[in-house]
Amino acid sequence: MSDIIQVKNLSKSFKDVHAVQDLSFKVPTGSIYGFLGQNGAGKSTTIRMLMTLIKPTNGDITIFGQDLRKNPNDILRNIGAVIERPDLYKYLTAYENVALFAKLSRIKVERKSIMDLLDRVGLASWENSSMQIFSQGMRQRLGIATALVHNPELIILDEPVNGLDPQGIADIRNLILHLKNDMGKTLVVSSHLLSEMEMIATDLLIINKGKKVIEGSINTLLKPEMAQIELIVDHADEALAKISTTAWQQSFKKRIGNTLIFEMNKNQISDFNVMLVHHNIHVLSLRPKHSLEDYFLEQTTETVSQ
């Protein structure tokens, strides 16, 4: 099965508010699927529909090749999820929390299996510690441990690094990569930290105001061999006239005041700079930019302006 999730024409309205509108996307099996959007874009609403916490107004959701409306129990048994902050019992130890979630899931788990799980999330040495002394990052990792107790094929994480310090963010990042690379899990990760998603995601979905903006593999969308060049000059008209006489005119994309935008292979940047010097173009700034944040802002800004 190439796609573990298939969503078609999904919509959700709350009275006059259209939170999700005709949304379609596919999550490839074995991927880390980055689910991106501004606050209020509809990410959490979509995730809640995937987890049957709310019902869609319209549309179809297929997970593991099964219709979610017809087989919710069979499907959910193979999904682990942490929606916002994990629901844990602060007066129980790390071990007791995982053991309790196993019992609630009607799963018989040996002590060794629970300890292996705590070890995977970096909490084996804290097995007998009360959760009330845990940092937020440790609580997030423990929440993921409880979501893994039934060894699900699909893991859904909604803003897993929200409110964490840099070390906590790095811990969750490494855990997510471990789950995919070493345990073969598929993950859907909703996050507003674009720099983090750029480091871990294999595929992306960007939504805005409940509608899909763009979807695809991160390598296809970002074109890692390419770079967008932001060139700021003191006399844009003069600079464009000189550049128009060269082959670099084909790389020119748009002008914003005295800022000229070009797109080229990263290996061409030094030759581009040589051309600018040769034609006596006075450069105030030359900055390659092609991060996920740049791409996200470009896509969502275009959507808002339409």
Confidence class of residue 297 from pLDDT cuts 50, 70 and 90? low
Q: Which of 4, 8, 6, 1 is nearest to 62 (CA)?
A: 6
Q: What's the distance, Cα to Cα, between the start and end of the chain in Å?
A: 37
Does residue 83 sit in the same domain as residue 230?
A: no
Q: pLDDT digit string (tens) for 67-105? A: 999 999 999 999 999 987 777 888 999 999 999 988 888
Contact between 139 and 85 (Cβ < 8 Å): yes
Confidence at residue 299, expressed as pLDDT on a 0 to 100 scale: 67
Cα separation, 205 vs 207, whole angstroms? 7
Is 106 part of a structural domain of the chain? yes
The pLDDT of residue 193 is above 90: no
CB count in 10 Å sphere of residue 208? 21
Q: Which residues contact 144 (CB under 8 A, 6 or more apart)?
A: 80, 82, 86, 121, 155, 157, 160, 172, 175
Same domain for 204 and 248, yes or no, is no
Give the SS3 label for residue 249. helix
pLDDT at 155: 96
pLDDT of residue 306: 34
**How far, in Å, CA of 195 to CA of 130, rounded?**
33
pLDDT confidence band for 7 (50 / 70 / 90): very high
Q: Could you give the 3-state DSSP secondary structure of residue 156?
A: strand
The pTM assigned to this predicted structure is 0.77
Statement to judge: residues 119 and 78 lie in one domain? yes
- Under the banding of pLDDT at 50, 70 and 90, the label for residue 295 is low
305 lies in a domain? no
Q: Are 97 and 140 in contact (CB under 8 A)?
A: no
Mean per-residue pLDDT, 126-139: 90
Specify the 3-state DSSP secondary structure of 220: helix
Q: Note the pLDDT of residue 97.
A: 93
Which is higher by pLDDT, 210 or 1? Answer: 210
Which residues constitute the domain of residue 173?
3-217
- Of 217, 235, 265, which residue sits at a domain end? 217
Number of H helices, E strands in the chain: 11, 14
The total of structural domains in the chain comes to 2
Q: How far is residue 176's CA from residue 82's CA, in Å, rounded to a whole number?
A: 13
Per-residue pLDDT, 241: 95
pLDDT the model gives residue 62: 97
| pLDDT tens-place string over residues 201-254 | 999 998 988 999 889 888 777 766 777 888 999 999 999 999 999 999 999 988
Please tell me what DSSP assigns to residue 47. Answer: H
The answer to whether residues 248 and 197 belong to one domain is no
Nearest to 181 by CA among 200, 165, 167: 200
**45 and 135 housed in the same domain:** yes
How far CA 59 is from CA of 9, 45, 71, in Å, comes to 5, 14, 16
154 has pLDDT over 50: yes
Please tell me what DSSP assigns to residue 62: E
pLDDT tier, 305 (very low <50, low <70, confident <90, very high otherwise): very low
Pair of tokens at residue 285 = 């700034």
Does the pLDDT value for residue 279 go beyond 70? Answer: yes
Full DSSP string of 52-121: TSS--SEEEEEETTEETTT-HHHHHTTEEEEESS----TTSBHHHHHHHHHHHTT----HHHHHHHHHHT
